[in-house]
Amino acid sequence: MKFTVNGLSKRYKTSHILTNVNFDFDMSVCNIIALIGPNGIGKTTLMRLMAGITIPNAGDISIDNSTNLTYEAWARVNTIFVPAGERGLRNKLTIYQNLEYFSALSNQNYQENADHLTSLAKLFNITNFVKNDFEKPQLVKRKRHLY
């Protein structure tokens, strides 16, 4: 599957975030892509555009796929954007609540996913952990060593 970005530009009011960005990559050749650069250069904006969350002011993104969907329609069904540094709602939810949210976003059956998560949590003996909020501090019992 090949992605092509052609002349992509994005601005918010008078701020030009991306201007005439062009690249392509073939996911059949590589399945890990790194996007690196200094703060404020437009990495998150580009990822939002690639995920179909934001509409470009100019240019387009295309994909060669067998479904004949437009890129925007394909992205709505096949992508989920979770920015790593953002401390939004997902950090205040339990793992099960996050699973419910992302199951809905990706049109998957939450109960099947939750049952699978429960079985894995039991297998790894982490059932209490998966019920906690991400931001809730985890209490760890420590032995005090006396020397």
CATH of 1-85, one of 3.30.750.24, 3.10.20.30, 3.40.50.300, 3.40.50.460: 3.40.50.300
pLDDT tens digits, one per residue of 83-136: 665 555 566 777 888 888 778 777 788 899 889 989 988 988 888 877 776 555
What CA–CA distance (Å, rounded) separates 113 from 103? 8
DSSP per residue over 69-108, as a string? --HHHHHHHH-----SS--SGGGGSBHHHHHHHHHHHTT-
Q: Residue 106: its pLDDT value, please? A: 74
Q: What is the pLDDT of residues 1-53, one digit of tens each?
A: 888 899 999 999 899 999 999 999 887 876 667 788 888 899 989 988 988 88
Q: Where are the domains of the chain?
A: 1-85, 87-137
Two tokens, residue 137: 């501090």
Query: For the whole prediction, is pTM greater than 0.75?
Result: no
